[in-house]
């Protein structure tokens, strides 16, 4: 059974209880451990609301497998990807090219940061996907990685 809408099955207090269980589990994770949960639950945990257009600000994505999440047209400003796994992001396709205050640690970046807002972003631990070697060199220098 796949839960497409948690609201159909759980009331607000039950959804918050699920979130609290996840947060407690995150605290206990050791380096390299990940929580594998279904796509619909991942989306419930990481997005602000049912529109699924904004990552929860200051919400730790630690230990979550984000390999099935499509970040196209998603607002990621303020997201903390440190300790997550599988996140692949093209900065050109996120909402408004706004990458401000994002912790890109453990993210595989698959596009350039041209004309993106990167104010306050952290690039320590970032991974680069298939980019032109000259472009990669330029980015690592400009991002001070």
Q: Which segments of the chain have a pLDDT < 70?
A: 1-10, 12, 15-16, 19-20, 22-23, 26-29, 34-35, 37-38, 40, 131-133, 135-145
Judge if pTM exceeds 0.85.
no
Spatial separation of the C-alpha atoms in residues 55 and 92, rounded to whole Å: 17
């Amino acid at each position: 059974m796949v839960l497409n809408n948690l609201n159909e099955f759980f009331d607000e207090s039950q959804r918050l209880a699920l979130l609290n269980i996840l947060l407690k589990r995150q605290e206990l994770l050791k380096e390299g451990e990940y929580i594998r949960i279904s796509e619909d639950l991942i989306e419930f945990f990481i997005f602000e609301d049912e529109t699924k257009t904004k990552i929860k600000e200051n919400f730790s994505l630690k230990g979550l497998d984000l390999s099935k999440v499509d970040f196209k047209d998603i607002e990621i400003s303020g997201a903390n990807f440190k300790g997550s796994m599988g996140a692949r992001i093209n900065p050109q396709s996120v909402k408004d090219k706004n990458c401000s205050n994002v912790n890109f640690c453990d993210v595989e970046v698959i596009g350039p940061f041209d004309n993106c807002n990167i104010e306050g972003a952290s690039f320590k631990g970032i991974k680069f996907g298939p980019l032109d070697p000259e472009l990669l060199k330029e980015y690592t220098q400009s991002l001070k990685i």
